[in-house]
Amino acid sequence: MKRSLLVWTSLCLLLSAGPLPSVQHAEAQSAAGQSVVPGSLKWDYQTGRQVFSAPAIAPDGTVYVGSNDNKLYAFSADGKLKWTYTTEGFIVSAPTLDSRGVIHFGSYDDYLYALSPNGKLLWKFKTRGFVSASPALATDGTVYAGSWDGRLYALDSRGNLKWSYETQDQIAGSAAIAADGTIYVPSHDSRLYALAPDGKLKWRFHTVGKIGSSPAIGADGTIYIGSEDGNLYAVGPDGSRQWYFKLDAPAWGGPALGADGTVYIGNGQGEVFAIHKGTARWTFRTRGAIGTTPLVGDSGVIYVASYDGNLYAINPQGRNLWFYPTGEEMASSPAIAADGTLLVGGGRFKLYAIHSESKGLAASAWPKFGRNNANQQRQKP
């Protein structure tokens, strides 16, 4: 390839020693009244290469996910393959769904794509770099997508360029859109940018490390962003720093928010932190680096994928409930269906569907990567 790849493969080498946490399983009831065991496998599907993309789930239960075999996959809720669409590069970008069911995603072939729900190409837009970031969708249909060429592109719903904004380095993380339309853009140039809907700069927030993860936005408009300088930052809507928390290792994955505003985030040493107003409530340690965003279920349980090959379920007090071992590194952030099925990529080139004790997302401002199961990266109005 003509450019260096993401840091994913290097993260899995940063494994930390220590025994796995103890595991407890409790039965739950499925919609059909049958007992299911949280942490047990419902189904899986093997793709041609690693699955680093975070899944998206449509209202009808269709699951969309990209793979490093250059394909975007569509599955029915029971794991049956519906269709695939092939690009010319890895698909690390998480699919983003609009209200019409159109699927937007990026590829390492430098294109941003829009597909119909049946997998037909609607349009594609050429950038000048890999597109690993997931598109963010505004309420007016504008698609915001960053590229490794350092630009954020604003496209209309037909794929026509409205404007672009150039940062000083790659944009690998996804932008997030506030309720007032402000777009928050992370860049490897160590800055978080706030742009108006017309592309004008409102402010820049400086860290001292690359920002390759995606921001989360709280109910009060606070922006939470991790940096490779080893800190989690809480930034006000005016660009002022409200507080920061030392993670003691790079933040490669983004934060998720619990119903009470607790921030959950992992670091490159395999630790998961629960942080409330700048103070740690607890720390949970896995055996591998974490480059994913946690998911908070409506039960309050936090689900996080680690490079030690496990998907962990952690209760609100920071204790391990169960883990599902895949045998290989996991660099995909999970999604959760309405019946409690967790969807996550990783392991041996697979997409996994795993039973959980939750029945959907927590009622929080930003409970997972992309905020909702459509991965729209947009704050609730």
> In b/e form, how buried is each residue of 20-34, taking b as 16+ CB within 10 angstroms?
ebeeeeeebeeeeee
Q: What pLDDT, on the 0 to 100 scale, is given for residue 275? A: 98
Cα–Cα separations (whole angstroms), residue 248 to 29, 226, 231, 244, 266: 40, 12, 7, 12, 11
CA angle 367, 373, 374 (to 5 degrees): 125
Q: What per-residue confidence (pLDDT) applies to 29?
A: 52
pLDDT in tens, the chain (381 residues): 433 343 333 343 333 334 444 444 444 555 555 678 999 999 999 999 999 999 999 999 999 999 999 999 999 999 999 999 999 999 999 999 999 999 999 999 999 999 999 999 999 999 999 999 999 999 999 999 999 999 999 999 999 999 999 999 999 999 999 999 999 999 999 999 999 999 999 999 999 999 999 999 999 999 999 999 999 999 999 999 999 999 999 999 999 999 999 999 999 999 999 999 999 999 999 999 999 999 999 999 999 999 999 999 999 999 999 999 999 999 999 999 999 999 999 978 999 999 999 999 999 999 999 999 999 999 988
Whether the Cβ atoms of residue 286 and residue 312 lie closer than 8 Å to each other: yes
Question: Rounded to whole angstroms, how far apart are CA atoms 95 and 133?
Answer: 10
State residue 2's pLDDT score. 38
Do the strands 271-276 and 263-266 form a parallel or antiparallel pair, or are they unpaired?
antiparallel
> How many whole angstroms separate alpha carbon 118 and alpha carbon 123?
14
DSSP secondary-structure letter at 113?
Answer: E
Contact 289, 268 (CB under 8 A): yes
What does the alpha-carbon distance between residue 350 and residue 289 come to, in Å, rounded to a whole number? 19
The Cα–Cα gap between 201 and 182 comes to 10
Q: How far is CA 159 from CA 25, 104, 144, 146, in A?
A: 47, 10, 11, 14
Q: What is the pLDDT of residue 1?
A: 40
Question: How far apart are the C-alpha atoms of 284 and 274, rounded to whole Å?
Answer: 9
Report the CATH architecture of 48-354. 7 Propeller (2.130)
Give the CA radius of gyration of the chain.
19
pLDDT value, residue 24? 45
Confirm if 175 and 234 have CB atoms less than 8 A apart: no
Sheet of strand 103-106: strand arrangement: 96-97, 103-106, 111-115, 121-126
Alpha carbon distance 77, 58 (integer Å): 10
- Answer yes or no: are the C-beta atoms of 364 and 350 closer than 8 Å: no
Biggest distance spanned by C-alpha atoms of the chain: 55
pLDDT at 309: 97
Q: How far apart are CA 239 and CA 198, in angstroms?
A: 18
| pLDDT for the residue numbered 347 | 77
Single out the residue of 39, 3, 55 nearest to residue 331, CA to CA.
55
Q: pTM here? A: 0.92
pLDDT at 113: 98
CA-wise closest residue to 129 among 113, 104, 146, 105? 146
- Whole-number pLDDT of residue 348: 83
